[in-house]
Amino acid sequence: MSHIIRLNRRILLPLILFLLLITAIGGGLLCLRQSLPARPAEEERSEAVAEEPEEPDLAAVATSAGVVHLKRALFCLDIHKRRPVIIKSAFSRRVDYIYCYTVITAPPEGVNILHRWILEGQPVFERRLRVQGKNCRVWSCRHLMNKEPGSGRVEIVVEEGNMLGSSVFTLI
């Protein structure tokens, strides 16, 4: 036996509008969470990790403290649990933040490195990072103010001014 529920228009219309509002708010919050960065701009992290397999060197520079090796240098949209998320080299101009993620092996006593952000040939930001030990993961984040298409790069420089490497990205 089936029961038919009858609702008059005075109740049905506000109920439908309420359900649509709840659905829109829930979907909007989901979209908002996906579009907002999880961390504030220009942040840095450093974490020594020994369990990763050995990677070949991209570059190495001798310093007064010892030899510093660049293992990885890449760009991504976010960092989650000290790992890059959505690795890219070309980004939409709608992106607000770009992360430069590097893996560096440094002497046990540590050295300072510099992430120097350069957009269209002009230095726009520098972040000092302390690295020490094997496979140290460090990153910096840049909030993109100018949304014009073009290219940029991050130069990875050791404390004594020696260039360790660089990585290039494009805004399309």
134 to 6, 81, 163: CA distances (angstroms)? 70, 18, 19
Q: How far apart are CA 71 and CA 48, in angstroms?
A: 13
Span 125-135, average pLDDT? 94
Span 129-149, average pLDDT? 90
Span 5-13, average pLDDT? 69
Tell me what the pLDDT averaged over the chain comes to.
82
User: pLDDT band at 118, cuts 50/70/90?
Assistant: very high
Q: How far apart are CA 118 and CA 82, in angstroms?
A: 24
* Domains, the chain, ordered by start: 45-171 (2.60.40.1930)
Q: How far apart are CA 114 and CA 164, in angstroms?
A: 10
pLDDT in tens, 48-85: 444 455 667 788 888 888 899 999 999 999 999 999 99
Q: So what's the pLDDT on residue 40? A: 46
User: pLDDT band at 139, cuts 50/70/90?
Assistant: very high
Beta-strand runs (E) in the chain: 45-48, 59-62, 67-80, 83-88, 90-91, 97-119, 122-143, 150-158, 163-171
**Of residues 90, 76, 83, 80, the one with CA closest to residue 141:** 76
pLDDT in tens, 12-57: 777 788 877 777 776 654 444 444 444 544 444 444 444 455 667 7
In angstroms, how far is the first alpha carbon of the chain from the final one?
A: 62
Q: So what's the pLDDT on residue 16? A: 81
In this structure, of 1-10, 117-126, 159-168, the range with the lowest mean pLDDT score is: 1-10
